[in-house]
Structure 1
Amino acid sequence: MGICFSSTQPEEDETESHPQFEGGNVTLVTTKDAWERKLSEAKAQGKIVVANFSASWCGPCKSIAPYYIELSDKHPSLMFLTIDVDELTEFSTQWEVKATPTFFFLKDGQQIDKLVGANKPELQKKITSIVDSDVPSGQK
């Protein structure tokens, strides 16, 4: 399992775009307003949010990003967001992100679970558990 703890300054060109963190059904959130809009949208649609707090310089973040994108395609009933901790430093601090990647699972804007580190099996397990528990009993 990989975790990045340092907050070294990214190279100038790395902050401009995040192609490794976008794709599938993943939305890159770069402002607090965008975060609020996406949470409102998720609540209105009854979707659980999976929020990936990552950094462009973080090796484990880069290594799990394609898998995260793959999961977003497999689970359209969830909303997948990626937040760059360097772009939203104060916001990330409010969420007490101490290492990257950190995944938060939110229902109606409230945290229901959390995963720290690039642990693919555990991420899959948590998403499967959330999807299974969120299905109305008549549809299982």
Structure 2
Amino acid sequence: MPYTPDFADPEPGRAELDLLAGPVLIEFGAPWCGHCQSAQPLLAEALAAYPALPHIKIEDGPGRPLGRSFRVKLWPTLIMLKNGSELGRLVRPAASRDIAALLAQG
């Protein structure tokens, strides 16, 4: 499952994410967020080297508890999970190499 441009619908729950086996990249953001839009080509470029890595894009905002459970404060926030444990995160990535470094942790 390579880069996905669409937000997950329905949104997974925290328990579901915690039970995922292996590495997975979670992306929190909003469709109207300029920082999120700017990061999309960077994500696509970095994820091209990881075609088997699941990428789950989650819409965040007021009243959405999933982002709060991960302590997300700015968008986009990328969180690398492995077997439900956070390996690392990146907030507002500025270069695909920064995203690639995060992905390499998985």
Aligned residues: 103
Structure 1 equivalent of residue 74 of structure 2 = 99
The counterpart of 2:12, out of the listed 32, 41, 46, is: 32
Measured in 2, the distance between the counterparts of 1:87 and 1:32 equals 17
RMSD after superposition: 2.7
Look at both structures and tell me which one has the larger radius of gyration over its CA atoms.
1
- Partner-residue secondary structure (3-state), 1:78: coil
Q: In the alignment, is residue 73 of structure 1 matched against residue 48 of structure 2?
A: yes
- Partner-residue secondary structure (3-state), 2:79: strand
Structure 2 equivalent of residue 122 of structure 1 = 98
The alignment's TM-score, normalised by the length of structure 2, stands at 0.77
Instruction: Give the drift of 1:70.
Output: 3.1
Specify the code of the residue in structure 1 equivalent to 2:94. N
Instruction: Give the drift of 1:88.
Output: 7.0
Measured in 2, the distance between the counterparts of 1:63 and 1:112 equals 24
- Partner-residue secondary structure (3-state), 1:130: coil
Instruction: Give the drift of 1:87.
Output: 8.3
Specify the code of the residue in structure 2 equivalent to 1:126. L
Kept in 1, the 8 Å contact 2:80–2:86? The answer is yes
User: Runs of 4 or more off by more than 3 Å in structure 1?
Assistant: none
Measured in 2, the distance between the counterparts of 1:76 and 1:88 equals 33
Measured in 1, the distance between the counterparts of 2:47 and 2:3 equals 5
Which stretch shows the higher mean deviation, 48-57 or 62-71? 62-71
Specify the code of the residue in structure 2 equivalent to 1:28. F
Relative contact order higher in (CA < 8 Å, ≥ 6 apart): 2
The alignment's TM-score, normalised by the length of structure 1, stands at 0.61
Percent identity, please.
Answer: 22
- Structure 2, gaps ≥5 residues long: none
Measured in 2, the distance between the counterparts of 1:68 and 1:76 equals 12
